[in-house]
Structure 1
Amino acid sequence: MFIRDRVLSETLGVRMNHVGTNLIVFVFFIGLTFSPGCGEVFATQVSQAIEQAKLATVGILQAEQLEISDNNYGLPVSIRGSGIHIGGGVIVTARHAVERSEGGKFVIPDTIHVVTDDLVELQAVRQGANAYLDVAVYHLQGPELDWPKAQVAFAEGDVTYGDQVFTVGYPLGWGPAINFGTTGNPNTFLPTVHSRLVQVDMSVCSGNSGGGLLNQRGQLIGLMHAIIQTETQHEDRRCGRMAFVLPGPLVQRVVTTVLAGKVPGFSVLGIQLQTLKMGSRWALVVAKATGPSRHAGFRKGDVLLAINDVLITTAAQLKNYLIERTEPGQVVVLRIQRGDSQELLSVTLGGS
């Protein structure tokens, strides 16, 4: 069973020729043994999941409201990003969706304002944030009756290739808009964040940042992080047909740590690598060893082969392994090539 779409940039609120929006959703039911009512039941379940996600989504308001002209598709407020309610008044969003520039530095504000699906403006207080994973956690203030009327839960497990997904958010400050797509490579790396990202084929714009990516059950499987720009209406308004999402398990790890009153920490190996061509293959070579790796005996010129018997071919892969599969203080074993022989080095990881 799949949900597919033909959602173009114009469905996100603004079209190049200013024609109205069109959202077309096609539902396909694939199989040989479905009873006549099976597809209808599934479609109803998906529809309910989308409605709950819509109710759980909030818009992140600009710190200073801009002059907004009257129109028939937007809100009379300036929305810079999206967030999602996971219950108990907790809002999860992208760190960069709330960052502000103060004195030449980017800071995470102690308080933000959000708007709910039923147009209630609420203040939210920061609980914690993490630059490694571009995640920020806030708690809503005010009467609970004014909080979002729904919440979403994290999915168990991770996504894989070809999963049918959707997001709810405020692209270009308009919304809430609902966009559908398909997961591509779940192990993509960009220089904008330290962890891996999930590539999603989906039309999104600036303003979707911080919104939830959900599966067909309405479970949270990631946070919208970045796009590859393919269309531009104005210099500061960008849309793309390929999105990159922070994986749900990593987001959940940050949220759980923050709500426990702790600071999210990640393992540090203390090694700088460079990629050099050795014969017909490219290899990861130690350029500098500091901290834990220096104490373990790493030397400049060592070739990194594996960590805990997992082959490592890129620096991003090593970084992702450390973030997702280790904890500060844990001992890991790295296999290296030194000269003509291979050696095993045990390292006690530091913390960020």
Structure 2
Amino acid sequence: MTDHFPPPVPPDSSLVFHDDDVLAAKATRRKTFVVLGVVCSLVVGGLVGSQFASSDSPSLGTSTQPITTAVRTDDDEPAIDVAAVLQTITPSVVTIISNLDDGQATGTGVVISSDGEILTNAHVVESAESVSVMFVDSLNPVSAQVLAIDMGNDLALLRVDLSGLLPVVFADVTSIDIGDDVVAVGFALNLDGGPTVTRGIVSALNRTITSGDGALDGLIQTDTAISSGNSGGPLLNTSGQVIGINTAVFKSSTDVAANNVGFSISVSEVLPVIAALRSLANGATRTEGYLGVTVLNRDDGGRGAVIGDVSPDSPADLAGMIAGDIVIEADGSPVDGQLALVAAIRDRSPGDTIAVDVLRNDKRMTLSATLTERPVQ
């Protein structure tokens, strides 16, 4: 175990996708994205609980406090005051220190309850033997328990044994628009001193990205500069409210030019995941839903996910889906490609009913499928 932080580097390994809901055929060409922060692999396998507390340390449990959210107003968005936003958020952002078997790695987290709950990216703590948290105004790190991890959505719930903390305020999701000014705050590159702040705009909404064979959906795209160490840090609006959790950046290659293309997990995804993580930490179990199809991207450049094989008597079969259907929406959310559909099913449970809009012979129709558990092979 080293006694210093090694220079942070982008992860060498990518998201590894193991589908428990829909089997995605591999595309022949992909854009490359990398998660931020530490060297690790992510397995999209739904909610998986993790306890890193030692056996002689009682579990802190989850908070019973509600998450603080803002109410949308019709007032015009004020001009952004970066210094004011930073002053607002600084007490609520922390350095996450993951103690690995061969050293340490760092990321960023946000306080979500006054009694010690902290949210960060799953890939920041997934491989840790133990985790500690450093507050901006503290001299020493504080031990943290990892209560639960959602690998599929790349979020993890931690808790420290402290009270009187200042939680972040999450923005109303309907207040987020393309072109809005935003600020990213985090402990980029694990530099000494306070957090790093960068400024940009919301470049796009509801993005789905791939990294290796993995998928993250419902993302906010931003041109705000995001670096290793920012993972798990907040993306903020002009009022200092959290609109997303920074998680991935575009990795340029020799034949692709891209600058400042970053992605944050939208508050619309974050809030339900927090609730699920709390339930999981309190002993609940969750099984991902099963649709029963293979899917692939369209080969004509169009949008949508093409249905390949349909398993007999599966939810898809009973709903009337057939090979060649092009799925364009799932419960009203656009499906731009195969992994968007995979992610949509992944976030649902057996018994959930999903409305799937498909194109069949150039005619649009809506089919209703009730998901089940994956059959035992």
**Shorter-normalised TM range:** 0.5 to 0.7
Where do residues 1-352 of structure 1 align in structure 2 (5 Å cutoff)? 47-64=83-100, 80-87=106-113, 88-100=115-127, 111-119=130-138, 120-141=140-161, 143-144=162-163, 149-158=165-174, 159-174=176-191, 175-192=194-211, 193-229=215-251, 241-260=260-279, 261=282, 262-263=284-285, 267-277=289-299, 284-290=305-311, 291-304=314-327, 306-307=329-330, 312-319=335-342, 322=345, 328-336=350-358, 345-350=367-372
Change (3 A) 1:284 1:211: closer
**Does the 8 Å contact 2:157/2:274 carry over to 1?**
yes
Give the partner amino acid of 2:307: V
Matched to 1:172, the amino acid is L
Q: TM-score, normalised by structure 1?
A: 0.67
Distance 1:211 1:53 in 2: 11
CA distance, structure 2, for counterparts of residue 230 and residue 333 of structure 1: 36
Following TM superposition, by how much is the alpha carbon of 1:274 offset from its aligned partner in structure 2, in angstroms?
2.2
- Please tell me whether the aligned partners of residues 178 and 203 of structure 2 are also in contact (alpha carbons under 8 angstroms): yes
- Relative to the length of structure 2, the TM-score reads 0.63
Tell me, which stretches of 5 or more residues in structure 1 are unaligned?
A: 1-12, 14-33, 68-77, 101-107, 232-238
What amino acid is the match of 2:153? L
RMSD across aligned positions (CA) = 3.7
Whole-angstrom distance in 2 between the partners of 1:251 and 1:114: 21
* CA–CA separation in structure 2 for the residues paired with 1:122 and 1:243: 30
Cα drift, residue 306 of structure 1: 4.9
The superposition leaves residues 215-274 of structure 1 with CA deviations (integer Å, 9 ceiling, x where unpaired) of 12121111110112469xxxxxxx962211111121111112222434566654332222
Change (3 A) 1:184 1:350: farther
Letter in 2 for 1:349: L
Q: 1:305 to 1:50 in 2, by over 3 A?
A: closer
Residues 52 and 150 of structure 1 are in contact (CA less than 8 Å); yes or no, is this contact kept in structure 2? no
How far is 1:183 from its partner? Answer: 0.9
Kindly tell me the number of residue pairs found equivalent between the two proteins. 282
**Matching residue of 1:4:** none
Is the contact made by 1:52 and 1:151 (CA closer than 8 Å) also made in structure 2? no
C-alpha distance after superposition, 1:277-310 (max 9, x if no partner) = 57x9676432122442134343333444555677
Structure 2: any 5+ residue segments left out of the alignment?
1-7, 9-75
Give 3-state SS (helix, strand or coil) of 1:245's partner. Answer: strand
Structure number with the higher helix fraction is 1
Residues 166 and 178 of structure 1 are in contact (CA less than 8 Å); yes or no, is this contact kept in structure 2? yes
Cα pair 2:109 2:232 within 8 Å, conserved: yes
Letter in 2 for 1:125: Q
Q: In structure 2, how many angstroms separate the alpha carbons of the residues matched to 1:214 and 1:313?
A: 26
Distance 2:135 2:248 in 1: 23
TM-fit CA distance, 1:201: 0.7
Residue 59 (structure 2) aligns with: none
Seen in structure 2, the aligned counterparts of structure 1 residues 323 and 161 have a Cα distance that, compared at 3 Å, is farther
What residue identity is the alignment partner of 1:84? V
Q: Counterpart of 2:310 in structure 1: which amino acid?
A: A
Shift of residue 178, structure 1, vs aligned partner: 1.5
How far apart are 1:312 and its partner, in Å?
4.7
Q: Secondary structure at the match of 2:261?
A: strand
Contact 1:96 1:134 in 2 (8 A): yes
For 1:321 and 1:65, how far apart are their aligned partners in 2? 35
Larger Rg computed on CA atoms: 1
Q: Measured at CA, do residues 319 and 163 of structure 1 come closer, stay the same or move farther in structure 2, by a change above 3 Å?
A: farther
1:241 aligned counterpart, secondary structure:
coil
If each structure's strand is expressed as a fraction of its own residues, which one has the higher value? 1
